[in-house]
Structure 1
Amino acid sequence: MKAVLKRFIKDERGLETIEYAIMTALIVVGLITVLGTIGGKIFNVFSDLNVGLDATQQVAPAP
């Protein structure tokens, strides 16, 4: 059992995959955090733009 455990600890196959998975997970968590923070602000900017454009539309007079 001791030999199996030593072999398992020394075996480095798959470590790069695990490292890439951890890095990817951290990047995804960071993106979700950033987009969650600024998402509402972006929505407000486009809503204000829409309100401003609606206010500038002129209705053509009826003939």
Structure 2
Amino acid sequence: MNHFIRLFKEEEGQALTEYGLLIGLVALAVVAMLGFFGSTLVNVFEQVKDELKAAL
């Protein structure tokens, strides 16, 4: 019984877990943003590439 009570009172691993959850949330947001803006980014980079090609 004391083992279970000690597990709930310990806070050592909580910070690492919170950072892991935060990193996972940021990664999920980045993937969602790339999915949403992906085609727009491709068009922008293709336009830059074409303009650089024309300038040379």
Name the TM-score class by shorter chain: 0.7 to 0.9
Aligned to 1:5: 4
Runs of 5+ consecutive residues of structure 2 not aligned to the other structure: none
Aligned to 2:27: 28
Partners of 2:22 and 2:8 lie apart in 1 by 22
What is the aligned-residue RMSD (CA, Å)? 2.0
The yes-or-no answer on 1:37 pairing with 2:36 is yes
Percent of paired sites with the same residue: 25
Residue 17 in structure 1 maps to residue 16 in structure 2: yes
Structure 1 unaligned regions, length at least 5: 57-63
- CA offsets per residue over residues 10-44 of structure 1, 9 Å max, x none? 01111100000000000000011001110112223
Deviation of residue 46 (structure 1)?
4.0
**Structure label with greater radius of gyration:** 1
The ranges of structure 1 where at least 4 consecutive aligned residues each deviate by more than 4 angstroms after the TM superposition are none
